[in-house]
Each structure stands twice: as structure tokens, then as C-alpha cells.
Structure 1
């Protein structure tokens, strides 16, 4: 099964939006891998599978791995939640991130 880039984009947008909902969550997720006992493990595993399938399909740069994606997504979630709030910031930063990790 190959996921379309659109599926990955939608999943990442939802993940980033959720991570920016609670103060401190984005920082915690961006700092280090999530422990197996964490409630976030399912989200990380699902996203890692999407990243892996995108890499196998050749849509990501060869030097990108799931940890890179989590660190970037966590940073976007944190920045998106900072004041002054800009409703378009998350979308803009996600598009920049996706442009940067796509295979050229």
C-alpha cells in the first residue's frame, strides 16, 4: 500500500494541530523519542509508518527519516502556538517543511 503525498500532508497537519493544542506537548514530543508507555506512541507509530511508506515510494529525500519529521513537526506545533497568533502560520510552515523533505 502506498499513501499519497496528500495523505501524509493531511496527517502531519492534524498531528501538528493536535500537538499545539496543549501547552508543553509540542516541546515534549520534539525533545526525544516518546517512551513505549506513552499515550502518544500510537500517533508516533502511525506517522512513522506513513513516513516509511513515503520514503519507500521515493517521495521523500533519501536523507530524511521519521525522527527528522517528528522534530520538525514538533517545532512547527510549538511555534504555531506562540503569541501573536497567526492563523496561517501552521499551514505556511508545514508547506515549507514538506517542500524541504520532498525528493527533488
Structure 2
């Protein structure tokens, strides 16, 4: 990428980060481009869709969740490892207003630019879930998609009320006891 194109790309990401944090993932793309000092055409050249822009912002966070999952697979307590990962998932999901619903919708849409990233995140949590199930510390009949939907529900509830992540995670974990 040319130096000027790289600068535009970075400015667009920085502005999108700020806009999505303060106004949610439905923030105006025109405003993002204008505030980044570029035209809307430049935004669309780098990010042909809103999902492409969102995927670029979330890529590192999803990679971090995957990396965390891999590191937690050797944890002494499979249950504690799963809980730690769930908390981090909720924090990542609450980064932008509207993100939890978008992630859930994306898991069912293979055409989405976010599908592969969200599916990889689902697999990361699924590995920890399977380990906790094998240890007998989590219900054996809980499916990875169910766990992700329950956790996304916590993210959604947290976005619409007071910060109760720890309380909701505790309730979730008590509900998935064997």
C-alpha cells in the first residue's frame, strides 16, 4: 500500500473506532470519512461495506480471544478457564453498541465478511467448553452455539443497563453446572 493510502486507511480505522464506540456500529460512514479527512469514495475503496470496516476493527480482538483460548487450554481448572474466556468475550462484544446483535446475526450468515472471524471465535470458546465438559464441570449437553448466544445475550443486556457482567456471568455459569 502506498504511504498516502496507508495513512488514509489508518485515519479511517481510528475514526471508525471512535465513532463506533460513541455512536454504535450504525454510525454514519459519511461522517467517519469526513472526520478522517477523506472522501466517502476513499472509505469504500478500503472498506467496501460496513462489515468490512467492522471486521478490520475487530480482527485483532478476535485474534486475541483465539490466542487467550489457546493459552487457557492448559489451565489447571477447565471451568475457570472457560469463565475467564467468557468474561473477555463479553468485554470484546461490548466494545461497540450494537455489536452483540451483529455477531449473533453474522454467525448465521456465511456470506458476511465477519462470518469467518466470528466462527473462529466460536471455535475458540468451543474448545474451552469441550475441555470443561470432559472434566465434568459443565453440562455435557451444552452446545458451543448455545454458549455463544447466552454470552452474547449478556453482552446485549450489559449494553442496555448497568454494568453487570460479573453477575450475569456468574448466573450463566451456575446455570450450566452439570
TM-score range, shorter chain: 0.7 to 0.9
Superposition map of 1:1-104 within 5 A = 3=75, 4=77, 5-31=79-105, 33=107, 35=110, 37-83=115-161, 86-87=162-163, 89-103=164-178
Structure 1 residue ranges, 4+ long, deviating more than 3 angstroms after superposition: 34-37
**CA shift for structure 1 position 38:** 2.9
- The alignment yields a C-alpha RMSD, in angstroms, of 2.1
Residues 31-87 of structure 1 show CA distances to partners (whole Å, capped at 9, x for unaligned) of 46354853233322111111111112211112211111011001000110114xx23
User: Structure 2 length normalisation: TM-score?
Assistant: 0.50
Closer, same or farther: CA 62–41 of 1 in aligned 2, 3 Å: closer
Structure having the higher Rg:
2
For 1:79 and 1:102, how far apart are their aligned partners in 2? 22
Counterpart of 2:27 in structure 1 is none
Aligned-partner SS, 1:78: helix
